[in-house]
Amino acid sequence: MQNKVTQLFQEAHGREPSIISRAPGRIEFIGNHTDYNGGTVLGAAVDSGVWVAAAPREDGRRRWRSAIGDAVIETGGELTKLEGDSSWINYPQGVLAAMQSHGLALPGGFDFAVESDLPVGAGLSSSAAIELASGLAFLAMTGQEVDRETLVKIGRKAENDFVGVPCGILDQGVSGFGKRHRLVFIDCKGPKFDRVPMPEGAHFWIFNTHTKHALVDGLYSARHSECMAAAADLGVKQLADATLELFASEVHQLSPTVAKRARHILEEIDRVGKSIAALERADLKTVGELLTASHRSSQHAFENSTPELDSLVDTLTRLPGVYGARLTGGGFGGAVMALTDGSFGEADADVVVETYQAEWGAEPQVLHMQTGEGAELIKPDAP
């Protein structure tokens, strides 16, 4: 990918980039809808991502090129939101706006190019990857350094405030703190970041259904409100402040629907803790059971699954080599992630695709991934 982004930069701008950076996509491993409840979540940075090549310009012009577009686009010094084919530039422009509000200096003019081996919109957060890779490039261009946490917050602010997507801290946190053979643990209260070992030999397989519930935004906000109602009924500020014991003693006060939502969040936070303990003793069998339990809880208690996602999990959990499977991300469509051992291969993935095709008349997109490194500056080398 380094060669590809360099080549794209050379074609677009007719010179060599002085800066190259990259940032990975991420998988929500376990911890479903826990973020806005002040809970915990585990994510994996994957071994695919977004690459940025850049070089400063003396004339103040900003010239942007991505392999997903087909032309160089020019902007001036002002950060104005773009639409249509140029709208991808809102992500790096949002990073500039967020850097500014963090009191950081901005580069003047520059040439910029983006390449990626991460599918867009597959639930792997290509948006966080472009934000973090851009952030590292802009910092390098201006000779500034920030700690990881600040880089992550700048990326999130770009997406929340400039692009206007109300994502939680998972996407940028995992892209920023990811490591090969590690998962990223985030306590969303704070937020606090840590890493957990991911035993070697574990593989991720993603089956992206390309389905999306027509009412997904309304369903998200309904779940959000139900969780806030549950916290109020339990007398806590956020659901993560309640224990399973408190829930058991107060559950009769909650409406049946609100009780189901609260049960999912509290048990999910419990599963995150149990997953960490199992990962630390390299017990992938238990981890897999927790992943599948998370899905079943989404299916029956939080009700953010779909029949398509359920059928993928049903098929996957019957196949040898699969530790467990669950929907990954917000749900109401999207993708299922399976954790497998090395014996699970293309032929097994084909079985999953054929079974799905026979039932739903469409093919899911299949991606095979492992853990990868978090965001990094590739050129110039760190001093």
Give the residue numbers marked as catalytic.
Answer: 171
Q: What are phi and psi of 296, to 5 degrees?
A: -60, -35
Q: Any bridge partners for residue 112, and if so which? A: 54, 64
Tell me: does residue 375 bind ligand ADP (CB under 6 A): no
The answer to whether 177 and 185 have CB atoms below 8 angstroms apart is no
User: Which one among 76, 77, 121, 380 touches ligand ADP, defined by CB under 6 A?
Assistant: 121
Tell me: does residue 68 bind ligand ADP (CB under 6 A): yes
User: Which one among 17, 31, 123, 176 touches ligand ADP, defined by CB under 6 A?
Assistant: 123
- Least separation in angstroms between residue 69's CB and ligand ADP is 7
Residue 95 interacting entry, from Mg ion, ligand ADP, none, C-beta within 5 to 8 Å by type: none
Scanning 85-93, 260-268, 310-318, 358-366 for contacts with ligand ADP by CB under 6 A, the matching segment is 85-93
Tell me: does residue 306 bind ligand ADP (CB under 6 A): no
Query: Which of positions 308-327 make contact with ligand ADP (CB under 6 A)?
Result: none
Q: What are phi and psi of 199, to 5 degrees?
A: -55, 140
- Least separation in angstroms between residue 305's CB and Mg ion is 20
Residue 380: cis peptide before it, omega within 30 degrees of 0: yes
Other Cβ atoms less than 10 A from the Cβ of 236: the count is 17
Total binding residues for ligand ADP by CB under 6 A? Answer: 16
Tell me: does residue 116 bind ligand ADP (CB under 6 A): yes
The answer to whether 65 and 110 have CB atoms below 8 angstroms apart is no
| Residue 171 or 289 with smaller CB distance to ligand ADP | 171
Please give the helix or strand (H or E) that residue 135 lies within, else none.
helix 126-141
| Residue 125 or 306 with smaller CB distance to Mg ion | 125
- Least separation in angstroms between residue 129's CB and Mg ion is 9
- What are 170's two structure tokens? 């998972």
The answer to whether 111 and 149 have CB atoms below 8 angstroms apart is no
Tell me: does residue 126 bind ligand ADP (CB under 6 A): yes
Query: Which of positions 317-356 make contact with Mg ion (CB under 5 A)?
Result: none
The conformation of residue 14, written as its DSSP 8-state character, comes to S
Look-up of token digits 């997904």: 216
| 3-state SS class at 167 | coil
How far is Cα 132 from Cα 140, in angstroms, rounded to an integer? 12
Total binding residues for Mg ion by CB under 5 A? Answer: 2
Alpha helices, DSSP H only, in 142-215?
Answer: 148-157, 170-177
The answer to whether 73 and 87 have CB atoms below 8 angstroms apart is no
| 3-state SS class at 329 | coil
| Residue 114 or 202 with smaller CB distance to ligand ADP | 114
The answer to whether 207 and 334 have CB atoms below 8 angstroms apart is no
Query: Which of positions 270-289 make contact with Mg ion (CB under 5 A)?
Result: none
Residue 116 interacting entry, from ligand ADP, Mg ion, none, C-beta within 5 to 8 Å by type: ligand ADP
Q: How many residues does the chain have?
A: 383
Residue 114 interacting entry, from ligand ADP, Mg ion, none, C-beta within 5 to 8 Å by type: ligand ADP
Which amino acid, one-letter code, is at 177? Answer: F
- What are 150's two structure tokens? 């600040």
How far is Cα 230 from Cα 258, in angstroms, rounded to an integer? 6
| Residue 79 or 278 with smaller CB distance to ligand ADP | 79
User: Which one among 21, 37, 40, 66 touches ligand ADP, defined by CB under 6 A?
Assistant: 66
| Residue 126 or 292 with smaller CB distance to ligand ADP | 126
Tell me: does residue 38 bind ligand ADP (CB under 6 A): no
Tell me: does residue 71 bind ligand ADP (CB under 6 A): no
- Least separation in angstroms between residue 352's CB and Mg ion is 25
Tell me: does residue 125 bind ligand ADP (CB under 6 A): yes
- What are 26's two structure tokens? 């991420």
Q: Could you tell me if residue 38 is left (phi over 0), alpha (psi between -120 and 50 degrees) or otherwise beta? A: left
User: Which one among 12, 53, 55, 114 touches ligand ADP, defined by CB under 6 A?
Assistant: 114
Query: Which of positions 108-137 make contact with Mg ion (CB under 5 A)?
Result: 125, 127
Tell me: does residue 88 bind ligand ADP (CB under 6 A): yes
Give the binding site for ligand ADP (CB under 6 A).
Answer: 50, 66, 68, 87-88, 91, 114, 116, 120-121, 123-127, 130
Give the binding site for Mg ion (CB under 5 A).
Answer: 125, 127
